[in-house]
Chain A
Amino acid sequence: MAKDFLPIGSIPDFLDALATFGEVHGPLLTDDGVQVFGRIASPADLRLDYRRTLLPPKKYLLPPRETVLTYAPDSGYRPPPLPDRDIILLALHPCDLAGIAYLDMAFTSTEPDPWYRARRRRLTLIGLSCEPDEFCFCAEVGAATPGNFDLFLERTPAGFHIRTGSRRGEKILARLARLLGESEPALSSPQRCNIESAILVAVRRGETFPYSPLWDEFASRCLSCGACSLCCPTCYCFDVREYGLLDGESAERIREWDNCLFMAHGETAGGFNFRKNRRERFLYRYRHKYLGFGPTRGTLSCVGCGRCREVCPVRIDLLELFKEER
């Protein structure tokens, strides 16, 4: 018998205990009915039965827009102070945990990004098991097994089995001890992907579907609204721009989320564009999501969260490519 069970009625105490480690954030519903990650001010805010948030948790690590440098004539270019807020991010599904693992690789493995790293160090990840719906497919991309968490909550009707995944998680669990009860070891081990899914097979082959009519079809419908990558937990492209201030001397350099379906994504000085039309941009999106390139070659970055399929106003779905293949 392990002492790892959090009864559902103890959630308010659980939140109080977490608050001693940092600001508690988790899934909530906005006034106009959008599921988002946000500050959990009271237990009533928390929506543990959420399906998926509109923006993924990457917004905590790479905000949609941030100042990365400021320029002043006497001090030159200076980075802003590093973020110093401790945040406990609660109830992340396995796909979102996998998304953060991918971002960790992209932003911290070779040349660490100072802002990402600072935020990541202060972010505690608490996972939550989930039920798939008609949009998501984590099992098919091998992201169903939870990883990259400090704590993970496996849901049962009466409460949650808690597992630890890091030293930090152990420390938090120790603080929670008085809330925990004994129980049988976790009943359902998370669903594992044993099927040879069409996606994994195609990806291993480096499939690019060069003759698929779907590319033209996608290109003709896409509105370039940006939703698919803004909402993708692993899309990390950003644009960097600098704006002068009115004193004529100082300036501010920002970075902002970009999207490979935007015309400016492949544009260089002088107006040359590496990917002139939407068809080429879709091929690029596919390659990055499923095949990877440069240091990420061979790394599937789609974690199957289903956001891009749900948020596209014209219902474009890259998975149709794999269905054709079958």
Chain B
Amino acid sequence: MRKPIIAIAGLTACSGCQLTLLNCEAELPELAERFDLAYFPLGITEGAVTGPFDAAFVEGAVSTPDDLEILIKLRSRSRHLVAFGTCALWGGVAAMNNHESRNALLETVYGEGGSEMKSFNPQPFRHFIKVDFAITGCPPEKPEILAALAALLRGTFPVFPRYPVCTECRSRENRCLLIEDNEICLGPLIQAGCNARCPAVGIICEGCRGPVDEANVAAELELFLEKGFTREEIGRRMRRFCPEWDYEQRS
């Protein structure tokens, strides 16, 4: 079997997704043996984007001309481009204030003259390029990363279930924070895969894995309003990992 040639890269983000991959300590020797890691700036110092790659795992949102350049370069040299993590797939935390003035944000962070910086609203990959596969999560779950890599050895990608966090949460018989405690849990709207990590320890789902397919956003919004949350608070919560909800969407 020919070793798949892969690239692992990051755009505007915290590198948490790439670190999660590096934290798969038990599997690293096997990964090193099975894959040809041709480009991985975070883990291997030297190296330019060469390619062609069988797959590029790219983390982060696109928020600078440089980001876009790297992304397009990787796209054009990779057979499969994988949106690696919530930022790449949905925009992520960097995009939570996209509705506010860009210049004001830049000046808040970088002070006067910040608005001179060459940056634009952080955006998910699909606004610019075709994405072949996604591993969501902030950061992604190790088993999903490993399943994707294992499938790649067979020239394919795995099928992950497309149900919300609630499904895993109920299967674990957690206390429902939404029903029992009237908390603003986003579980019904969010893609499962974390095994309800947060509700399992009594913390509401903040939505770090982004929207599940066919999320009934409008019904969840009505439910939150009924429970007395303000539109502002709901919006603030929901934007935290994904700025682009369609609040009218029912399916």
The reply on A30 being an interface residue by CB < 8 A is: yes
Chain A residue at smallest Cβ distance from B154: A244
* Contact between chains at B174 and A224 (CB < 8 Å): no
* Contact between chains at A225 and B170 (CB < 8 Å): yes
- CB-CB under 8 A from A263, the residues of chain B are 162, 213-214
Assembled-state Cα–Cα distance A213/B73 (Å): 53
The reply on A147 being an interface residue by CB < 8 A is: no
Chain A residue at smallest Cβ distance from B177: A32
B147 CB to closest chain A CB (Å) equals: 5
- CB-CB under 8 A from B153, the residues of chain A are 244, 246, 248
The reply on A24 being an interface residue by CB < 8 A is: no
Assembled-state Cα–Cα distance A230/B223 (Å): 21
The reply on A22 being an interface residue by CB < 8 A is: no
* Contact between chains at A246 and B178 (CB < 8 Å): no
Q: Looking at the complex, which of A105-113, A118-126, A169-177, A215-223 is the stretch in contact with chain B?
A: A215-223
* Contact between chains at B27 and A246 (CB < 8 Å): yes
The reply on B158 being an interface residue by CB < 8 A is: yes
- CB-CB under 8 A from A314, the residues of chain B are 219, 223
B28 CB to closest chain A CB (Å) equals: 11
A220, A231, A241, A262: the one contacting B170 at CB < 8 Å is A231
Assembled-state Cα–Cα distance A46/B71 (Å): 58
* Contact between chains at A223 and B188 (CB < 8 Å): yes
Q: A34-B173, A64-B171 are in contact. Are A245 and B150 (CB under 8 A)?
A: yes
A306 CB to closest chain B CB (Å) equals: 14
The reply on B134 being an interface residue by CB < 8 A is: no
- CB-CB under 8 A from A34, the residues of chain B are 173-175
* Contact between chains at A220 and B166 (CB < 8 Å): no
- Which residues between 186 and 230 of chain A lie within 8 Å of chain B, taking CB atoms? 219-227, 230
List 29 A–B pairs whose Cβ atoms lie within 8 Å, in order of A's numbering.
Answer: A36-B173, A54-B173, A219-B251, A223-B166, A223-B216, A223-B223, A225-B167, A225-B188, A226-B163, A231-B170, A239-B161, A241-B159, A243-B147, A244-B158, A245-B150, A246-B150, A247-B30, A248-B34, A248-B150, A257-B171, A259-B163, A259-B167, A264-B162, A277-B251, A278-B216, A278-B250, A313-B166, A313-B176, A313-B188
Instruction: Report the 6 A-B pairs with minimum CB-CB distance, sorted nearest first.
Output: A225-B166, A226-B167, A223-B188, A248-B153, A32-B175, A64-B171
